[in-house]
Structure 1
């Protein structure tokens, strides 16, 4: 029982981070229909920018977070304005190849300035353990679950109640109708990339605090694809269900079976979902008549 509780806490924390990373992916896809293969590198950039502010520049924690958010906003705006916007009207494969190239460029820039060796950074979350239902679990894992839950609730409230959130939902449903209502579609596109970069920043900082500031953060971002396929490419609630499901599944397989198999399981789930339900659990089924 203790093992089960411990694996569950680890799985929920991993799943919460995956949900944050997948949220940005889904936001971009819903608003612009762009599949962003650079989402893992957004996590990487976010983690290293926070490291730069907090460790190298020795800014206070709050100032370091604000620095990371500002960089994330600038990154989102620059990518949308100067890289993706000129590709409007181009084929889907062209846009996909550009995002793949963007991922390579972002990773190369990080390697040029910081190298490939992991960086040590002071922990921002408590590192002690607590007793939970008879099992000893890391406190930082529970805090990560709480932070991710708060962030996801804030994003959900933003989409449901704010004017910009309603505009994003309108553009996602029908761009032409949104234009006739006076909504700036280009501004919504920029906002989607900004929010995706900010959510990736939060996930990257938390992931770096749990492990280390290293290139492996981008590899963690690759698991976003099984998450969004499972939950649905255009479903925000699906990111939560998909993230928690993949996170728990990885930990259970690692703890009760084989750690090597656990690394493959998310992609086995991806293949199975594509065969059985290509649009995911919560994804919208689109039927095109020709």
Structure 2
């Protein structure tokens, strides 16, 4: 039972991180109605900015405090992501208002390759380290209940708590603020939103900035665990099955979908792996997403769209 709980808790914490990345997809889709394939590249780009600024700023300003370097690097990286959002709106999205969804989709693919290449051009292509002080040592809990206790990663625990707090704040932002309601209105109908005075260009800058902030937090957490390298954008693609499972328009769906996939892939790897062979954790999420596309394509919490002719 103790080993099962270790696997379950590990899956929940991984799922929370998947949910954090999936939120970026949901935010962009809710505001523009397009699936943003650039979210994985944004995670890599933000993590590269954070890692390199944390290295450069102490050299520029002549101090050695790790905490101060991380704080300044975070705000510098956030400024880069906001500037990126502004450029994307001015040069790409602002010129594609009311275009077909496939046009916007191809635009995000172009943004993906640009960010991958541009990020490595200005920040470098080596493997970089992000050290924000998350504890690396594991700890044991429930030692009085199970023999030997339950092993828990402190780093994953803190990362999951940070992700959960950010998810909760974004949920409140969408449901309780005027800007959040404006974002939902823009997602429903661009032309109708413009007709009632909602500034579409400003809304898109805001939502890409928020998605950039989410990408930065996700990049810091994943970069702290795995190091900042090109494969980080591939890790972010694990969020694709999450949004398919939870629903493209649902923030709660991104959370639940992430937890289901995180737990499912861990349990399947441990308990089905010996029977089916290794590597289940790699493909489990995508097979589950395929099943949902066949049975419930709108996802668990997505809106079912009915076109009447």
Return the TM-score normalized by structure 2: 0.88
Distance 2:123 2:186 in 1: 39
Cα deviation, 1:88-112, whole Å, max 9, x if unaligned, reads: 2333222222211221121122333
Distance 2:192 2:104 in 1: 24
Distance 1:233 1:157 in 2: 18
Cα displacement (A) at 1:123: 4.9
Q: Tell me if structure 2 keeps the 8 A contact 1:55–1:121.
A: no
Counting matched residue pairs gives 290
Cα displacement (A) at 1:268: 0.3
Distance 1:171 1:90 in 2: 14
CA 1:80–1:132: 2 relative to 1, 3 Å: farther
CA 1:55–1:3: 2 relative to 1, 3 Å: farther
State whether structure 2 residue 161 is matched by structure 1 residue 142.
Answer: no
CA 1:118–1:2: 2 relative to 1, 3 Å: farther
State whether structure 2 residue 21 is matched by structure 1 residue 2.
Answer: no
Cα deviation, 1:94-152, whole Å, max 9, x if unaligned, reads: 22222112211211223334554422343531112222232121111111111011111
Q: Tell me if structure 1 keeps the 8 A contact 2:45–2:119.
A: yes
Alignment root-mean-square deviation, CA: 1.8
* Equivalent of 1:108 in 105, 110, 117: 117
Task: Give the corresponding residue for 2:65.
Answer: none
Where 2:139 maps in the other structure, the secondary structure is: strand
CA 1:14–1:262: 2 relative to 1, 3 Å: same
Structure 2 gaps, min length 5: 59-67, 143-148
CA 1:91–1:54: 2 relative to 1, 3 Å: same
Cα deviation, 1:141-183, whole Å, max 9, x if unaligned, reads: 1111110111111112222222212222232344444334322
Task: Give the corresponding residue for 1:235.
Answer: 250
Task: Give the corresponding residue for 1:271.
Answer: 290
Structure 1 gaps, min length 5: none
Distance 1:185 1:114 in 2: 32
Q: Tell me if structure 1 keeps the 8 A contact 2:98–2:190.
A: no
CA 1:181–1:95: 2 relative to 1, 3 Å: closer
Distance 1:110 1:142 in 2: 29
Larger Rg: 2
Task: Give the corresponding residue for 2:261.
Answer: 246
Task: Give the corresponding residue for 2:87.
Answer: 78
Return the TM-score normalized by structure 1: 0.93
